[in-house]
Structure 1
């Protein structure tokens, strides 16, 4: 469960510590300039970024080009009830091709450029010549291809950039999609193409010291607009923390039970092993082997058993552990591989003590009788 720490979870979610957004179907301008101003004055916030969308309609018609969107449509076939086996349905989908158009802060582009060998042309982006897409369509729509949208002023074409926005960029209520991929252009380009626009998303990071108070103040600021979603890594972290506490209690309890069962079984095996060798040990002692030498022999045997057990745990056990992680990570994508070194060391130490102490303890309880008596009892 260490790989499911709250930090691992929230680091995979979204691109900002806090975000406010709403459904693309909302006709009202929910996030007002006064609201943005109040948010900007909160203590502890950093990197405040606005995302704009056309008003009152967020979406814009996209000219369908099979050379550009063929792979994208193929990826949708059979998903969420979409069926393109009927040519009429496919044609209807292509004719009703639209997407959300959003004007994003140039800071997002700067962050993407840091990860690219060939940075995106910032000037071309600001001039409305380049469009960013989400990572969800990476590999489906190729960089350099042209996407054309229909606006009130006619058609406008963009070149697809060679970088992509994080998949969680539009987490929350504003995450609904059009039939075409979302288009992210510069704020300058959006304002030129769409005379009417509105703030669709407010996102910012924090210093990590005021998250709880910021969340409460955001709820007060947006109290008059119930349809605004507040998404925060702070809340996600708290939710995951509560889940992990429950999971760790159950997991630890189950682990302790399994450990006790294993230890009891191991102790029983060691006891039976020594008891079945009573005659052998008595014979060795009768021909001159000292009790100290017998104890040393049992000690070395216990150490040998421990070495074999540890080797199996490190090899076969690790292989099983990695296999389980690979299966689990497909369900919990935010899981991070973390080898349990400390539990392994603690359990290994416990098993070592058992292997060294139990055989000698059983032997000591048996040597209270004379050698002759022990030989007679085991005949």
Structure 2
């Protein structure tokens, strides 16, 4: 066969073929631009949202680092010399304990003296003034200024109550500082419970030299992490650097579990792949229709000597031209849309402060790269068809009806996401969350009941419950006790660590057998570490949490504490003849199936030691045994092991008024903001930084913000997937109908009316949609139920699901009717004779 090698002719052919397909060009550019817009917008929104939520989630002391290594200034200097350390900054604690100002009640506020480079590396940006330069100057956060009601005047005076000294020599000392500046708080997500005030390093030498001997936190940035491991190798790399520099310990906010990281990254990857696949079918349909309509032209070109390679060149020139126009339009619009959606969504959520627009160059490269890849693979099959077909095959070519499985799945997935989003976001019940996280209207909790302390335990005053009870809106106040055995601390490399409240008891019978089982279990030890159980087992003197709870509260406590075996006889419990048992195995790693486990009805002989050296032995009956603790922790007994009536507790511990662990507060109606503040003020008047407050009001405020966040993000996701699903659906229906143009024209030529054509296409479209609807309803109901069972949400709402399904069905019907009307109108623009003459 003669081969024409004239390159200029090929250019002319490509140009003529391009200009003769104006409708095809507009549709192709639109398809490419839409796909590029979606890909670019998803990259823009996705990267910004992932980084924003990640920054929010990782917001902890030292927000710019991978972790911290404890050590001295010499340790820091050694770390800086290591090749795997990008930077290392020391943030010196000026006191072993938080500040004691009454205004900081319920918060942990730390006075720190960081290196100068710490501020730059950890996102500490001044909004006014300058950083502290001597021991009597400080800078505070914007959230702290708001909390204190300050007007952000540089040069104002602020008195802080600093705990100077260590251990038993620690004393509260008032020091007046000059506020030299204010900074934007990078830890805003925890600003309700934690804040940092910065001074100069000279403070320690001048005011608290005892802290110079204590290893401090050195925040480090690693440069040897494997990006494929998604920061799950942080702990190993930190420990390696710690050993090389002679540090005394490490800490990190990152997980070492690859499965956890993949669970968070996986959905984003699948989402991008889904868009690429959707774009592939969208663009493929356009090019397939175009090539199908020109197939005889390609056959004739081959008869005059055009090679397959030359035809590919002709088509690729057109494809590149269409792609350049579509991609340029798409990436610009995609970036603009993404940066409108991203900040707009984030501004309405708890993540607002952490939003940062992604780099425009990175987005353009990703958007253009993925879009060109999508265009290329979409056009590849059509290119092969045009280049490989022979003149004879071209003359009798008829387009094949494509399989529509992906489009069905695409639209079904879009509908499923819509249904899930409706149920999870709109169905999110703030009232449900308030009930879930609050057993009472308000509670005041002593941190020492369940957490370690960095300063000596400070009791709740016995007068505080009475003061709260005198408030006019308070209907009932109940006190829970938790015994604390002295000495209550252990010596560590950084000083004394005061342990959570525990009593010392001796055990006999099933309780002793169960504790000895734990003490001899490698599995238990590997989970909880060496807590001294083996030594306790030798002496039969166990350190366990012993609580005293009013008998009238016990049923409510049990209902909120988790799943229990047994039924509590309240009268027997109140009389001090019964005990409730919660094993130290709080994570249930051992289960309850071992032979020596405790069961209701077992006799329990327990000996109690108090701080005066007295010993009392009681024989009681086990009334109930915890099988699974509640994950929400709203009950007091969820942190206990041995639960007694408060009457018995007071007999066993004469100094019981020193061991108030919880004050439960009930009010006439749900607590208001003003009432919340009144209780908080009484708590603050205790001058006890170890007290924390919880209330229904505080939970409601937090959950209202969370609900708004879920709704915005959920419907953004549903909207993007909806556009993709509808685009694929419309494109597939259109290409399917246009592939049957000759068939439909022939049927009209033998008498089919426009009304009959309309009815036939609507019926075919509805049949096609029916499969998608069945799939989306089935999968949507299952996924809605499963997703809403997660602790983040509040359960499946059948009424809301049916409403959202009805809205979805209405949308499907509207799309079907509109598409049928539009296709009939387009098909009948030309006469039947003209359509029968078209090459198909």
Distance in 1, matches of 2:721 and 2:542, equals 57
User: Which ranges of structure 2 fall in alignment gaps of 5 or more residues?
Assistant: 1-423, 487-500
**C-alpha distance after superposition, 1:295-327 (max 9, x if no partner):** 11111112212222111112344445555567x
1:190 aligns with 2:190: no
Shift of 1:77: 3.1
1:156 aligns with 2:618: yes
Distance in 2, matches of 1:106 and 1:82, equals 35
Matching residue of 1:69: 515
Shift of 1:110: 4.7
Matching residue of 2:478: 49
Task: Return closer, same or farther for 1:59/1:370 CA change in 2, 3 Å cut-off.
Answer: closer
1:81 aligns with 2:529: yes
Matching residue of 1:92: 535
Shift of 1:111: 4.1
Distance in 2, matches of 1:93 and 1:117, equals 27
Q: Which secondary structure state, in structure 2, belongs to the residue aligned with residue 205 of structure 1?
A: strand
Higher mean Cα deviation, 204-213 or 36-45?
Answer: 204-213
Distance in 1, matches of 2:797 and 2:567, equals 34
Distance in 2, matches of 1:269 and 1:242, equals 41
TM-score (normalizing by structure 1): 0.82
Q: Which secondary structure state, in structure 2, belongs to the residue aligned with residue 50 of structure 1?
A: strand
Matches within 5 A, 1:201-212: 201-212=662-673
The 8 Å contact of residues 270 and 355 in structure 1, kept in 2 or not, is answered as no
Matches within 5 A, 1:240-259: 240-259=703-722
Task: Return closer, same or farther for 1:70/1:4 CA change in 2, 3 Å cut-off.
Answer: farther
The 8 Å contact of residues 21 and 202 in structure 1, kept in 2 or not, is answered as yes
Q: Which has the larger radius of gyration?
A: 2
Task: Return closer, same or farther for 1:161/1:211 CA change in 2, 3 Å cut-off.
Answer: farther
1:31 aligns with 2:31: no
Matching residue of 2:746: 283
Matching residue of 2:733: 270
**C-alpha distance after superposition, 1:185-240 (max 9, x if no partner):** 11221121122211332102334443322221121101122221112233223223
1:336 aligns with 2:824: no
Distance in 1, matches of 2:792 and 2:723, equals 32
Matching residue of 2:434: 10
The 8 Å contact of residues 478 and 550 in structure 2, kept in 1 or not, is answered as yes
The 8 Å contact of residues 21 and 228 in structure 1, kept in 2 or not, is answered as yes
Moved over 6 A (4+): 112-118
**C-alpha distance after superposition, 1:50-90 (max 9, x if no partner):** 1134477553212245424356555733223348xxxxx65
Shift of 1:334: 6.2
Distance in 2, matches of 1:201 and 1:324, equals 34
Higher RCO by CA contacts (8 Å cutoff, separation 6 or greater): 1
Distance in 2, matches of 1:375 and 1:207, equals 81
Shift of 1:163: 6.3
Matching residue of 1:352: 813
Task: Return closer, same or farther for 1:277/1:129 CA change in 2, 3 Å cut-off.
Answer: same
Shift of 1:148: 0.8
1:228 aligns with 2:691: yes
State the aligned residue count: 363
Q: Which secondary structure state, in structure 2, belongs to the residue aligned with residue 248 of structure 1?
A: helix
The 8 Å contact of residues 60 and 149 in structure 1, kept in 2 or not, is answered as no
Match of 1:300 among 743, 747, 763: 763
Q: RMSD of the alignment, in Å?
A: 3.4
Matching residue of 1:86: none
Higher mean Cα deviation, 132-141 or 351-360?
Answer: 132-141
Distance in 1, matches of 2:665 and 2:680, equals 15
TM-score (normalizing by structure 2): 0.39
The 8 Å contact of residues 69 and 141 in structure 1, kept in 2 or not, is answered as no
1:105 aligns with 2:550: yes
Shift of 1:262: 1.0
**C-alpha distance after superposition, 1:313-371 (max 9, x if no partner):** 12344445555567xx3xx3765234633333222221221122203311212212221
Shift of 1:263: 0.8
Task: Return closer, same or farther for 1:169/1:288 CA change in 2, 3 Å cut-off.
Answer: closer
Higher mean Cα deviation, 305-314 or 256-265?
Answer: 305-314
Matching residue of 2:775: 312
Task: Return closer, same or farther for 1:232/1:122 CA change in 2, 3 Å cut-off.
Answer: same
Q: Which secondary structure state, in structure 1, belongs to the residue aligned with residue 527 of structure 2?
A: coil
1:143 aligns with 2:605: no
Distance in 2, matches of 1:212 and 1:14, equals 16
Higher mean Cα deviation, 20-29 or 276-285?
Answer: 20-29
Task: Return closer, same or farther for 1:166/1:16 CA change in 2, 3 Å cut-off.
Answer: farther
